Amino acid sequence: MTKDTSMTKENPFEALTPDFILDAVESRGFYSDGRAIALNSYENRVLQIGIEDATPVIAKFYRPNRWTKEQILEEHAYCFELTEQELPVVAPIITQGESLFQYQGYYCALFERKGGHAPELDNLDNLFTLGRFLGRIHRVGQAKEYHHRPALTPQTYGHDSIDYIIEHALPAEVKMPYESIARDLMNLVDERWQRAGQQRNIRVHGDCHVGNILWRDDNPHFVDLDDSRMAPAVQDIWMLLSGEREQQQKQLMEIIEGYQEFCDFNVAELQLVECLRTLRMIYHSAWLARRWHDPAFKFAFPYFGSVQYWQEQILDLRVQFAELQEAPVSLPNY
């Protein structure tokens, strides 16, 4: 049975009733046992669907009007290139000759369910292993370019995000201090980005944090390339670093040692680590503001938009301003 699939800006996923979800999956030849478990995803809707006498599958319903069909298929093509090289990336399942299908207004893809746990990033051996796999992934990523997906740049992640926040999200009480620190930060980001020289943007995972890495059988399995785009290689590395500077340097040395077994790393990109952290902080607030019409965001982030939220953001950005004026993390042996 199906229902009206009209979607509104206020709730773009309102048509995703249990019956609708199971009908979409069954339209691709998988017969559900009726079980559907929502997984942790805000940008899209991702569910584990029980299949009769078979392993469950993961169904992903893409947020309407976020990616074009061409942009989604570019990401899928990259996943297939990676799996062809026997890399542990979870790629979409081909059904009826295609990896992406449309069901009553929604783009959908199905994936094998893969188990695992978050990697222990305080284990240097794990970081070395992650570096080796990232080196292999980036070696494939360098072979071609995205033509439809956007690039990660100070303009797209930073300046554009600040403009949106100022116009649509900031309470009057904090507009001046937020805009002041954010603009000052972006001046530093722009300066350091230029100082790092001409980077070679490649296809990257784009959101390579522990939540998108499943550790199983002593190896990582990379999931959710939804944010994949053209960016400097270090974008897939910096989110694996944590702690004080000395600790980060030890972590970085392990990652890069493994990485360079398969792919050269441009050490000049290390000047971008705090730039990328800054851009992620600003972009995250703009992302919440852009998605605030979605009821799931109001439920998950009730604190967002309050004066106190923005006051804390201002404090965090001031800390980041100080970090950007420090010498970047480095590799003594390179």
Q: Please give the Cα distance from 266 to 233 (Å, whole number).
A: 8
Please tell me whether residue 95 adopts helix, strand or coil conformation.
strand
Contact yes or no for 199/266 (Cβ under 8 A): yes
Taking residue 113's Cβ as centre, other Cβ atoms within 10 Å add up to 13
- Which alpha helices (DSSP H) does the chain contain, by range? 18-26, 69-84, 124-141, 160-168, 172-195, 245-259, 273-290, 295-300, 307-324
**Residue whose tokens read 């783009």:** 107
Residues within the annotated binding site?
Answer: 212, 224
Q: Could you report how far apart the first and last alpha carbons of the chain are, in Å?
A: 62
- Residue 190 is among the residues annotated as catalytic for this protein: no
- Residue 125 is among the residues annotated as catalytic for this protein: no
Residue at 297: amino acid letter: F
Q: What backbone torsions phi and psi does residue 124 show, to the nearest 5 degrees?
A: -65, -30
Residues within the annotated binding site for Mg(2+)?
Answer: 212, 224
Catalytic residue among 224, 226, 236, 294: 224
Catalytic residue among 19, 207, 217, 227: 207
Query: Among all residues, which ones are annotated catalytic?
Result: 207, 224
